[in-house]
Structure 1
Amino acid sequence: MQKSDQKVIDVLKKVGAILEGHFVGTSGKHMGTYINKDDLFPHPLEVEKVCQMFAEKNKNLDIEVIAAPALGGIVLAQCTASFLSKTLGREILTVFTEKDVNNNQIFNRGKDKYVKNKKVLILEDLTTTGGSVKKVIESVRKAGGKVIAISVMVNKNSKEVNSSLFNLPFNFLGEMEVQTYEEKECPLCKNNIPINIEVGHGRKYLENLNK
């Protein structure tokens, strides 16, 4: 199992991106700890630190393009590609996928042309189930690209989200095991702890609950 130096966790703590409370994640599961990666992006010097870590982690891979899901992955992919381009002495391109009405991750605006016949690194900010990454893999392959590896800022579920899940090389900068719960089993709900509607998917969850 990969060992993590956890420097990226220190960066996230520094910018106040690790929150405690009652949250709903992208997967719909509830949790008491939330990594709000959006709190990282207003701090360009801290973003650079993270992207330098990504570049160092992946500098020995034979890649031509970095693909990332919007929105969080875009900033990280652009910055990481810049560092890698300078390190390798050749341009590493970046593209991003967007959610469609069916919640798939797809290339819009002709971006698939940058992936065709290219060796691709998929970069993601956070993983809990790996669902978003799988959708990006599917889109890259559909566009004719070859996925070389996956690199993640923070893996929140390293027992289940690993190379075996994707059948591809997989690495991460840091890990933080976050306990998640199905709605019916959530102790936070049972203790009537209010759901945070400012970050995560709490607002959408409550809106659907009240329909």
Structure 2
Amino acid sequence: MKDIFEILESVGGYIKNSHIVGTSGKHLSEYLNKDALYPHTGMSSEVGKMIAGVVRDLEIDVVASPALGGIVLSQWTANHLSKMKGREVFGVYTEKNAEGDQELKRGYNKLIKGKKVLVVEDIINTGGSCKKAVESVRKEGAEVVGVAVMVNRNPDVVNEAYFGAPFFALASRKFPAYEEEDCPMCKAGVPINITVGHGKKYLAGKK
């Protein structure tokens, strides 16, 4: 089985030895750009198959994910689980509401009621949106039988206890993150990468 970082690197989704500003404002030398994976349907399918293989022994009726990031993976995971189990496994997603929580719309709430649900996410940073998706699934009367992610970047916090359900990750890795004043890339004069992350916004704020 391929390593998930090899797959991401092959499509330009794993960036190393760079200088990137993350969502939190911290500076990183490594970055995962999951959006680089999704145009490649074959690779996306392969990752979905990898996740399905990890959870195939669980009883799963539905795969759910928080929009937008996890939608592609949840569909491929559900597709491969359907083939493995010889029956249809549905794929749905939750959406952010005005309060910032995740909820099931479009009739998906009725579809999952009483069902056994696997929640899938691509990259876990804080784990917040994924946890809200788990809560929304439970709120609709479904059982969360597991949470599966492509990469867990916050393994010290995000785990089985965090979700209250079995937790699976294709890979877990902490990326060093620095405050601007402590950033070794800043001190070395490495230019900010403006193609990914929030580098462009960061530089605009410096003007």
TM-score, length of structure 2 as denominator length: 0.85
Alignment partners' CA distance in 2, 1:35 and 1:188? 18
Residue number in structure 2 paired with 1:160: 157
**Residue 6 of structure 2 is aligned to residue 17 of structure 1:** no
Within the candidate set 57, 65, 68, 2:65 is matched to 68
For residues 1-211 of structure 1, what are the structure 2 equivalents within 5 Å? 7-20=3-16, 21-27=18-24, 29-181=26-178, 186-188=183-185, 195-203=192-200
- The alignment partner of 2:30 has SS state of strand
Alpha-carbon shift at residue 51 of structure 1 (Å): 1.2
Alpha-carbon shift at residue 181 of structure 1 (Å): 3.7
CA contact (8 A) 1:67 1:95 kept: yes
CA RMSD of superposed structures (Å): 2.5
Alpha-carbon shift at residue 106 of structure 1 (Å): 2.1
Alignment partners' CA distance in 1, 2:68 and 2:134? 17
User: Over residues 125-183 of structure 1, what are the superposed CA-to-partner deviations in whole Å (9 max), with x where a residue is unaligned?
Assistant: 01122111111111111222111110000111223221122222101112232122456
Alignment partners' CA distance in 1, 2:196 and 2:101? 22
Alignment partners' CA distance in 2, 1:26 and 1:145? 32
Alpha-carbon shift at residue 26 of structure 1 (Å): 4.4
Alpha-carbon shift at residue 12 of structure 1 (Å): 0.9
Alpha-carbon shift at residue 18 of structure 1 (Å): 0.8
Alignment partners' CA distance in 2, 1:40 and 1:87? 23
Alignment partners' CA distance in 1, 2:93 and 2:109? 9
Q: Mean Cα displacement is larger for which, 39-48 or 107-116? A: 107-116
Letter in 2 for 1:37: K
Q: Mean Cα displacement is larger for which, 68-77 or 182-191? A: 182-191
- The alignment partner of 2:161 has SS state of helix
Alpha-carbon shift at residue 27 of structure 1 (Å): 4.8
Change (3 A) 1:99 1:32: farther
Q: Which runs of 5+ in 2 are unaligned?
A: none
Q: Mean Cα displacement is larger for which, 127-136 or 20-29? A: 20-29
Alignment partners' CA distance in 2, 1:29 and 1:168? 30
- The alignment partner of 1:80 has SS state of helix
CA contact (8 A) 1:6 1:174 kept: no
Change (3 A) 1:61 1:31: same
CA contact (8 A) 1:27 1:129 kept: no
Change (3 A) 1:178 1:203: same
User: Over residues 172-200 of structure 1, what are the superposed CA-to-partner deviations in whole Å (9 max), with x where a residue is unaligned?
Assistant: 11223212245675555666655444323
User: Over residues 67-104 of structure 1, what are the superposed CA-to-partner deviations in whole Å (9 max), with x where a residue is unaligned?
Assistant: 11112211111111111101101111111112234332
- The alignment partner of 1:82 has SS state of helix
